[in-house]
Chain A
Amino acid sequence: MHPPLSLIFFFLTAGTSIGLFIFMYAIEFLQLFGKGQGLPKEVILKLGVLELILIGLGAFGASFHLGHKLRAWKAIKRFRTSWLSREAVFSGAYGVSLLIYLVLNQLGVNPFFEHFFGILTFILGVLSGFSTAMIYASNKFVLEWNSSITVIYYLLMYLMLGSTLMAYFSHLYNLPYLGTFIFLSFLFLALGLGFRLAFNIRQFYLKRPTMNEALNLPHNRPIRVVDTGTTTDNYCTEEFYYRKGKEMLSTVIPVAYLLTFVVPLFLVLYAWITGTANHWILGLTYLFVLVGSALERWSFFVEGNHVQNLFYGLYPEEGYRLRKGYMERKETKISLYG
């Protein structure tokens, strides 16, 4: 699939915003039960404004992949069936709810409403991330994405972005949560790495449909594309098969792994074990995760193979070849829930 840069941008901004809010509000929430010391109001204000700006930038950036930006509000219409619609609703509601929470928090008038909107923002943030991941995971025609692993590690990436940035801010504002967030960064980085590896390993075991299945021909019949009707590329071959990306993929994936998971894990472990936490180490950890995530998202899109490529002979061949004359018909069952 062709990677839309605006969606990668949305992932980075919305991921940081939602990830940061999840941890920021978790500290505030624990304070309700007398655990921890909460956060100073000015820190909440600074972080909250940053989260608001990021989600705003994300929404603005994401609109660039739309043909008609001004009609984007219409995306709320099919909330009942479309994950994209749900994403739009939840992201928008997250931004509004976050603003209300910040105002209530700063005014400090009513703790009930403050925490009501805090919890609401928390839930909307998670739902927004979940819906975005489900857009990809529910697409049963891109088998690489059509799995619960996609959703889990998408949410883990949000938590990675949030926890590494929160660790940096803990150090910056001298908060007593530095150790916790260094541990959480390590935890989510390790889990993220595990699920990303699972995502990649799963691709080797996919039962891919064949061109014979696409054209409903007997399975033992060799078939090849002679002509696709046009001499040049068209929308289908450009949108669903990114030729340049496929060539670069073998280089980009290792770099993405290195920047997103390996280097930050080493930095966090170094900070944890030696106890040397400074701006450089914690700032670099977040920056590495940020840049790595951009490459990781790019690879995620390019790795996806749409089944319509079968008609153009651009789909990867399945893992095994049928013997000549072997008449068994392979049943491909693709379920929506992986």
Chain B
Amino acid sequence: MAQFALVIDLNTCVGCHACATNCKEWNTQAAFGPLSDFDPYGAHPEGVWYNRIMTYETGEFPSTQVFHLPKSCLHCQDAPCVPVCPTGASYKREQDGIVLVNYDDCIGCKLCSWSCPYGCREFDEADKVMKKCTLCIDRIYDETLPPEHRKPACVLTCPARARFFGDIEDPNSEVYKVIEERNGFVLFPDMGTNPANHYLPRIETKINLEEFEKHILKPDNPLFLEVMKRHHVSNKAPQEKQVEEVV
């Protein structure tokens, strides 16, 4: 059975909040909107967001690392928020595994948000219903859009290309492959929720300059001359470079 989900690469996520902003921009005007705001230009702006970006720091000074964690509904495969809903307004679609809220049936009892260990459901005080990420279901099935645009708004906008969207149960999909290849992990694995959204862990990339100088810049390296030539060319002024290319 298909299970659509997001895979977020924590290695490339720069925490720019573009996904959250574009999510809000798209969803406030689309089928599942509006996402109400209160006091938006005042001292205490507050509102409904499907996607929030948390920033954490690990390690101890001076060897610390900062990473950003975009957190939207994880579309859990054993979603704990669905069975607690007294009206059946909260449901998980069989065909693609997306967890949705039927606003016409939601009585706003907030019990589903109590049953979500990730805090990914938010109550809209204006509409008095529970709202959550829909994986932009109104975009991904919209046949009037070109096929490359049939993705969630957050995936399309991510400038760092840190977000992937697809069917995590399909071995041929991009998301399946990145999860397999790069050890995708989930949040709160012990809670028995089996989240569909995965995160790709940070990989520390180190460049050892000493090694570089020792091996690559050695005169007996067969590529030594080529390296030096390129280095020489790239250090020249642009005009000279052009002349050289023409020659």
- Which A residues are within 8 Å of any B CB, using their own CB? 1, 65-68, 71-72, 74-78, 81-85, 88, 135, 139-142, 209, 213-217, 221-236, 239-240, 306-309, 311-312, 331-334
Contacts and interface: CB of A to CB of B under 8 A. Distances in A.
Of B17, B59, B80, B110, most buried by chain A (CB within 10 Å of CB) is: B110
B71 A331 contact: no
Interface in B106-126: 106-111, 113-119, 122-123
B54 A225 contact: yes
B116 A229 contact: no
A140 to B, nearest CB: 8
Given A82-B84, A141-B117, A229 B53 contact: yes
B49 interface: yes
Contacts of B69: 215, 311
Contact of B187 (A141, A216, A221, A226): A216
Contact of B190 (A1, A135, A331): A331
Contacts, number: 163
A331 B189 CA distance: 10
Nearest to A304: B114
B44 interface: yes
11 contacts: A74-B86, A74-B89, A74-B105, A75-B107, A76-B86, A78-B83, A141-B80, A307-B188, A311-B119, A333-B190, A334-B190
Contacts of A311: 54, 69, 71, 118-119
Contact of B188 (A67, A85, A214, A240): A214
Contacts of A226: 55-57, 66
Contacts of B5: none
Interface of B: 17, 20, 44-49, 52-60, 66, 69, 71, 80, 83-89, 105-111, 113-119, 122-123, 127-129, 185-192, 199
Nearest to B44: A232
A222 to B, nearest CB: 6
A232 B57 CA distance: 20
Contact of A221 (B46, B58, B80, B115): B58
Given A72-B107, A82-B83, A229-B20, A222 B190 contact: no
A75 B123 contact: no
A139 B115 contact: yes
Given A214-B188, A308-B118, A229 B83 contact: no
A223 B54 CA distance: 13
B93 to A, nearest CB: 17
Contacts of A72: 107
B49 A234 contact: yes
B122 A71 contact: no
Given A67-B128, A232-B44, A306-B114, A78 B86 contact: yes
Contact of B113 (A76, A83, A227, A239): A239
Most chain A C-beta atoms within 10 Å of own C-beta, residue among B86, B87, B110: B86
Contacts of B89: 74
Contacts of A65: 109-110
Given A225-B54, A229-B54, A307-B117, A75 B122 contact: no
